Amino acid sequence: MIDELIQEQETAIRETMLAEKPAEGIFYAAKLHTLRQDKLILQTRRDLRRVRLRRLQIGNEEV
């Protein structure tokens, strides 16, 4: 589920970058920044979830 959300963020980032038109002075820096931050938050949550699950698995193996 989280991986799907990360993929959606990456797609949104790519689409926003393609929509920029530097020659015409059209930039979406703030939107790109927000999208990238959201992607990093999702990646961090995914990584923390993996760590918690691994700790639970190790804890169950020791019992």
Q: Which residues pair with 26 in a beta bridge?
A: 21
Six-digit token string for 11: 């797609």
Other residues' Cβ atoms within 10 Å of the Cβ of residue 9:
19
pLDDT grade for 15, boundaries at 50, 70 and 90? very high
What is the share, in percent, of the chain residues with pLDDT greater than 90? 86
Instruction: Write the pLDDT tens digit of every residue in 20-48.
Output: 999 999 999 999 999 999 999 999 999 99
Predicted model pTM: 0.82
Q: How far apart are CA 41 and CA 58, in angstroms?
A: 26
